[in-house]
Structure 1
């Protein structure tokens, strides 16, 4: 009876939280002119007292005192900040609702080799979490399968839409690999002996290499028209061999990253290192080899006794100084990615140039996902995916996102957190 009651309660909770009541924005129906704002273009610096016009979902003009088109909606944004939408990389947004409720967790598939899995197919556009992260300026999020050796493929989705098809910006951009551990786990909960750990590490690396060998054999057979059937696993990896897809390797240890770089170089893959906690230790090597980094450890304690207390915070500045092409992310986050802009702002406090910090959460992630021609900056011809804030978006105290548009459609910024805030602020009365 106790188990039955627990199951009923869990099911009730999951049913209650899987759907928000915010209606996705309607397609833009008239020209919209934002007048007199401070435009953070990312690609062309900061423009004071500048107008921005967008029509049919595209930015059509930027400048001072723009002519008002017929039937245009004019919005005075004087004294306010206008930004391109923020792009959150390496998230599980829409794949998990409550960590304690298994029924709401669709982050991973059964098995170790599952490249055929696509993150967007399990995406829940009605998640209560999505409106809360929009409220902090995030218009796009990369949805990434988790845990397995070859976890699957990621997709970039807009944070407003009825379905994943509705929200799709770029589907199946790259294959994600969790690089096998190279060291020993010395945590108190580890029950395996050092010998058992080393054996499993070696076995996982062997499985990974075997999978790529099989995938390449499949690709070669397909190119020669000698396939006897379709294998969905290797079919999902063909883009790696013809250059249409990227290899995303999740690794934090320097030794893992070194091994992944050697592996990608051997195969000729376009490599993106994700997580990359130790990237500061090999920054010059990363820059020399043109390896893109999605730095996913912007907060945290030192991982070694001899590391500086601020290592996690100062790493973006170190990467920038070395010339590494990097983005800032909140690795494997969902509700906590709402703090993405603040992580970038924190990196500024520890030495990163402010313009580089903004680029690391806008245009740089857009480049990683192959959509920099559409989003990531305020430029004529790009999609009108942007937001208006009363203050600096990277300042936790000053930021106040007041309006958002995705492809020109105005987004409802209401959310569950705001509703609860409005409710309980009345309680003392």
Structure 2
């Protein structure tokens, strides 16, 4: 009993210790006019010395020398950069706080086939990590369940909100599958023989295909009004068959991706490849079949001995050259997604066009999540989810985010890191 009480108290204290004290922004109450900034619109190029007006959470006007509405808040942003909010895909933001503390880890559910799991359900809007990532321009993040064969469904949430309900941009957008291994691991921690590994890989693939067969049978029975009850697993997958949901396949190896493409083609699913380290090897096929890629390895060592040292950095440029529709992400990241804009900047250094790089972390992720009509670019009619930086947001040394608005509500950019910095800079 004493040990149990100690564990409960420790868990309570750890939960309290990781709750930030930044208050979510209030709903926009007056027009806001950003005057004289450099607008990185994404869809209409870069506009210098241009004004942007937003009211009731929507961008209502863009142009030079806009008239000032009555009761408007006017902010001089001359010499500064204005961007649409950055959208971070394939994250565990709000699902984990401290990797070493199990009580703060809600990334996965028990079992291999758990499509009914929704990432937003376990999302902690009070995570100390959230304010630190939005300080680098991230206004939205896709929250993704992890590990299981069919891990669950992801949702796109705003990085400012009291609960997941008021932070929701799009819920249960797609079903996430971690594709079974196809190769043999020779890592020191792998204790299974090659034959045992091959058998396990084959069993996982068989289990995955069986799940789709069962889900389709459930869907057909539902369409025919012949269900005897509700199975929450297959209910969560019905959107794949009626076209309202996407299939997100997490895979790196070329062979895994080819298997996933074959399965998606057989079932008629809209496929998104996530991670996709080897995407450059099948770029022409991806472009020809109009398959979207969430490239989640913008940094890293070569996968094979005969690959170039800079393969991870140069892959976005290779995908763009082949005509692949792609976004850049930090796969399964949470605290490290704060560097997403810098990863895009690094891709520019290795051949990617700068406008394409910006689109890969703004508009392209919005398209993947089905919300490009609302966010991802600076356009009249879209949500006022944007930020102002004192320099190029993709430059580690030059960027400095000074203002952020999500749906027109101003976001508090303070965070734990800044608080500690302000504290210790006063130390004698």
Q: Verify same fold: TM over 0.5.
A: yes
In the other structure, the counterpart of 1:17 is 17
CA contact (8 A) 2:15 2:104 kept: no
In the other structure, the counterpart of 1:171 is 171
In the other structure, the counterpart of 2:66 is 66
CA contact (8 A) 1:10 1:101 kept: no
State how far apart, in whole Å, the 2-side matches of 1:254 and 1:340 are: 24
- 1:231-279 alpha-carbon deviations (Å, 9 max, x no partner): 0000000000000000000000000001000110011100000000000
1:201-216 matches, within 5 Å, as 201-216=201-216
In the other structure, the counterpart of 1:85 is 85
- 1:88-147 alpha-carbon deviations (Å, 9 max, x no partner): 000000000000000000000000000000000000000000000000000000000000
**Is it true that 1:388 corresponds to 2:388 in the alignment?**
yes
State how far apart, in whole Å, the 2-side matches of 1:316 and 1:421 are: 35
Q: Secondary structure at the match of 1:148?
A: coil
Alpha-carbon distance change, 9 to 424 in structure 1, aligned in 2, over 3 angstroms: farther
In the other structure, the counterpart of 2:117 is 117
CA contact (8 A) 1:97 1:104 kept: yes
In the other structure, the counterpart of 1:106 is 106
Q: Secondary structure at the match of 2:47?
A: strand
- 1:271-305 alpha-carbon deviations (Å, 9 max, x no partner): 00000000011111110111100000000011110
**Is it true that 1:344 corresponds to 2:340 in the alignment?**
no
**Is it true that 1:148 corresponds to 2:135 in the alignment?**
no
Q: Secondary structure at the match of 1:412?
A: coil
In the other structure, the counterpart of 2:415 is 415
- 1:45-64 alpha-carbon deviations (Å, 9 max, x no partner): 00000000000000000000
Structure 2: stretches of 5+ with no match in the other structure:
none
State how far apart, in whole Å, the 2-side matches of 1:352 and 1:361 are: 13
Alpha-carbon distance change, 121 to 8 in structure 1, aligned in 2, over 3 angstroms: closer
In the other structure, the counterpart of 2:47 is 47
CA contact (8 A) 1:159 1:167 kept: yes
1:271-350 matches, within 5 Å, as 271-350=271-350
In the other structure, the counterpart of 1:188 is 188
State how far apart, in whole Å, the 1-side matches of 2:4 and 2:116 are: 35
CA RMSD of aligned residues (A): 1.4
**What is the deviation of 1:16?**
3.6
* TM score, norm. by length of structure 1: 0.98
Structure 1: stretches of 5+ with no match in the other structure:
none
Q: Secondary structure at the match of 2:373?
A: coil
Q: Secondary structure at the match of 1:249?
A: strand
State how far apart, in whole Å, the 1-side matches of 2:29 and 2:114 are: 42
Q: Secondary structure at the match of 2:171?
A: strand
**What is the deviation of 1:18?**
2.9
Alpha-carbon distance change, 3 to 277 in structure 1, aligned in 2, over 3 angstroms: farther
State how far apart, in whole Å, the 2-side matches of 1:8 and 1:249 are: 37
**What is the deviation of 1:425?**
1.8
In the other structure, the counterpart of 1:97 is 97
1:124-139 matches, within 5 Å, as 124-139=124-139
State how far apart, in whole Å, the 2-side matches of 1:12 and 1:341 are: 35
State how far apart, in whole Å, the 1-side matches of 2:222 and 2:320 are: 41
1:245-284 matches, within 5 Å, as 245-284=245-284
State how far apart, in whole Å, the 2-side matches of 1:275 and 1:260 are: 13
Q: Secondary structure at the match of 2:383?
A: coil
Q: Secondary structure at the match of 1:155?
A: strand
Alpha-carbon distance change, 285 to 76 in structure 1, aligned in 2, over 3 angstroms: same
**What is the deviation of 1:15?**
2.3
In the other structure, the counterpart of 1:162 is 162
In the other structure, the counterpart of 2:397 is 397
CA contact (8 A) 1:17 1:127 kept: no
CA contact (8 A) 1:93 1:333 kept: yes
CA contact (8 A) 1:17 1:97 kept: no
State how far apart, in whole Å, the 2-side matches of 1:122 and 1:50 are: 41
Q: Secondary structure at the match of 1:319?
A: helix
- 1:2-48 alpha-carbon deviations (Å, 9 max, x no partner): 97798478536622433100000000000000000000000000000
State how far apart, in whole Å, the 1-side matches of 2:6 and 2:424 are: 29
CA contact (8 A) 1:383 1:408 kept: yes
